[in-house]
Amino acid sequence: MEWSSSPTPSAAFIFFSFFRLFLSAFSLSSEHEDFQNPNDPCDNSFEPHSENYPVVELEYPNTGASEKFILLAPKDPDHYNPIMCLESTLHIILKDYLTPPQRAMFGTLPDACFADVEMPIPIPSVPPPIIVESELSSPSPPPLSSASSPAPSVSEASSSATSSSSIFSSVSSVSSVSSFSSISSMSSFTDLSNHATPCALGPPSVDYLRLLQRAINKHDGPLFLKVMNAINALLRLLKYPPVPADPFDPLPPNAFQEAVRAWGFIPQGVIERVVEEVYQRAVGPNVAQLKHYQAFSSSAYGELMPTLVSRIIRDTALHEGSLFLDLGSGVGNVVLQASLQTGCTSYGIELMEQPAKLARSQLEQFQVRCRMWGFRMGEVELEEGDMLKSRRVDELIPKADVVLVNNRVFEPLLNEAIRPKFLDLKEGAIVVSLREFAPLSGVTERNLDDISAIFQVTKKNYHPGHVSWHGLGGDYYLHRVDRECYASIKQQFENTASTRTKPVRSSRLRR
């Protein structure tokens, strides 16, 4: 797995570019405060405001990457909820990037989301003492360009995790703070000192994740901000670990960078979170525009959900060296996920203007998000045009390893028009579709000379919720090009036909 060391856009750019989309889609009247100050009924800092929105920041895995989220909830539960987005992203970062010792310093991670799963937090009658040095030496985080500096190999990850564990122990007790880099103030920890609980084998500790659950479930805004400040401080410690005392010692790496390098593949949870983040920002505010189509026509719009896309990727053994084509790619979900999940080169073509425009927007967001999360995706090419007339399609078809055609609502004439293009596919290439292009029964005497005879067809089932147009299950089909098998079967039919047909001499020739 390759770590992305490209400079990451500033938090301000990502923050305000998304806010413009958010504000254009939802007016103040459609939002409401999700947090309050339980100790001050007159505190209106968590209420909607025309300019000064209540916000909280979240550190992302890559160096220099962070994002701010509005602390407002939509009145319509189907609309984008930035608070839930933050919770989901934080949960995946902690679950899939950290080692158990690293994760333990944040507290108790729930199995799913943080909301509505609050666990009791024991609070001692007398808070334990907190030792804080009067002066704090706090070097700033390294500049963005430092992400390209050499890092220790993956084999050093275990020793790094061990050293991180000892560092986190000092964080827990908030002592030896002068050794911490990238933490400008220890107030984020001392603000929560009254929530520390005794530990039998060490100094008192704070379960930040349980406190986060409490703040969310109690809608306690001040507590939520304090806990997030502490969590971000710990995340920054992982990203910018303490500088060694010996200036000749190598700089410790970003712990998230080490995690990505140790992955054999991107975890499914990370893939689905990135896909969801991108969709919420690029497509969500414009989703109403996708409904402007003629029902039951070839231009009707529908999406395959990430879980089904992942199944198709596994079924077709798509990999980094593959070329993937999506004929009728819509907003680009499948093309982008395929390149993210496998690193393959992907191409998508879409006829309708609005989905094609949103696909380009999604590609831009994907590139930003991948840098924020700290990894790279494969190359993606998008085209707005007619798949039947595109020269680029004709150039790529012979090189393609997998071709997807979401043809569930295609008219019969369009399906027939697509089939001749498959004659240029190479041996072993796979066509995936929602309606079959060739009969499941295989080659018979009736279809021996049909275009579809080159395919070996396999029928697969998808589960409810795997497509956007209904909540039911259904079928999809894998068509594998197998010309050798076709040639063998054709030869058998020809041999059988020749044995059944014997020449008869004319009676006139006997005279």
- Dihedral, CA atoms, 456, 461, 466, 472, nearest 10 degrees? 130
- How confident is the model over 199-225, as pLDDT tens digits? 666 666 889 999 999 999 999 999 999
Residue 365 host element (H or E): helix 353-373
What pLDDT is stored for residue 74 in this prediction?
84
Please state, in angstroms and rounded to a whole number, the distance separating the CA atoms of residues 100 and 31.
38
What ranges make up the beta strands (E) of 49-177? 55-59, 66-70, 72-74
63 C-beta neighbours (distance < 10 Å), count: 25
Q: Residues 6 or more apart from 351 whose CB is under 8 A from it?
A: 299, 328, 384, 385, 386, 387
- How confident is the model over 470-505, as pLDDT tens digits? 888 999 999 999 988 767 766 676 666 666 655 555
> Does residue 98 have a pLDDT over 50?
yes
User: In terms of pLDDT, which residue wins out, 145 or 286?
Assistant: 286
Task: State how far Cα 265 lies from the chain centre.
Answer: 13
Token pair 């930035």 in the structure block, residue: 82
Token pair 């700089």 in the structure block, residue: 251
Q: In terms of Cα–Cα distance, which of 154, 160, 153, 152 is closest to 101?
A: 160
And the tokens for 302?
């529908």
| 498-511 CB burial, b ≥16 within 10 A, e <16 | eeeeeeeeeeeeee
- Average pLDDT, whole number, for the chain? 79
Token pair 């319509």 in the structure block, residue: 76
Please state, in angstroms and rounded to a whole number, the distance separating the CA atoms of residues 181 and 183.
6
State the number of CA atoms in the 13 A half-sphere of 382 facing the CB. Answer: 24
In the predicted model, what is the mean pLDDT of residues 454-469?
A: 90
- How confident is the model over 238-269, as pLDDT tens digits? 999 888 888 888 888 899 999 999 999 999 99
And the tokens for 369?
């998000």
Do β-strands 345-350 and 323-327 pair in parallel, antiparallel, or remain unpaired?
A: parallel
Least confident of 55-69, 159-173, 177-191, 451-465: 159-173
Are residues 210 and 21 in contact, defined by beta-carbon separation less than 8 angstroms? no
Least confident of 51-55, 88-92, 108-112, 211-215: 51-55
Are residues 362 and 334 in contact, defined by beta-carbon separation less than 8 angstroms? no
72: amino acid identity, one letter: L
Please state, in angstroms and rounded to a whole number, the distance separating the CA atoms of residues 114 and 201.
27
Residue 205 host element (H or E): strand 202-205
In the predicted model, what is the mean pLDDT of residues 50-66?
A: 89
Please state, in angstroms and rounded to a whole number, the distance separating the CA atoms of residues 242 and 219.
35
Token pair 């680029």 in the structure block, residue: 392
In degrees and rounded to multiples of 5, residue 471 shows phi and psi of: -95, 15
Least confident of 34-43, 85-94, 376-385: 34-43
And the tokens for 198?
């005794």
What pLDDT is stored for residue 135 in this prediction?
30
State the number of CA atoms in the 13 A half-sphere of 302 facing the CB. Answer: 21
Domain coordinates in residue numbering, the chain: 11-262, 268-495
- How confident is the model over 350-402, as pLDDT tens digits? 999 999 999 999 999 999 999 999 999 999 999 999 999 999 999 999 999 99
Please state, in angstroms and rounded to a whole number, the distance separating the CA atoms of residues 91 and 465.
23
192: amino acid identity, one letter: L
What pLDDT is stored for residue 293 in this prediction?
53
Are residues 128 and 198 in contact, defined by beta-carbon separation less than 8 angstroms? yes
CATH class label, 268-495: alpha beta
In SS3 terms, 217-246 reads as HHCEHHHHHHHHHHHHHHHHHHHCCCCCCC
Which residues sit opposite 474 in a β-bridge?
A: 462
Q: In terms of Cα–Cα distance, which of 265, 262, 254, 283 is closest to 377?
A: 265
- The share of the chain scoring above pLDDT 90, in percent, equals 49
- How confident is the model over 309-332, as pLDDT tens digits? 999 999 999 999 999 999 999 999
1 C-beta neighbours (distance < 10 Å), count: 15
Please state, in angstroms and rounded to a whole number, the distance separating the CA atoms of residues 355 and 48.
32
Please state, in angstroms and rounded to a whole number, the distance separating the CA atoms of residues 37 and 35.
7
In degrees and rounded to multiples of 5, residue 125 shows phi and psi of: -70, -35
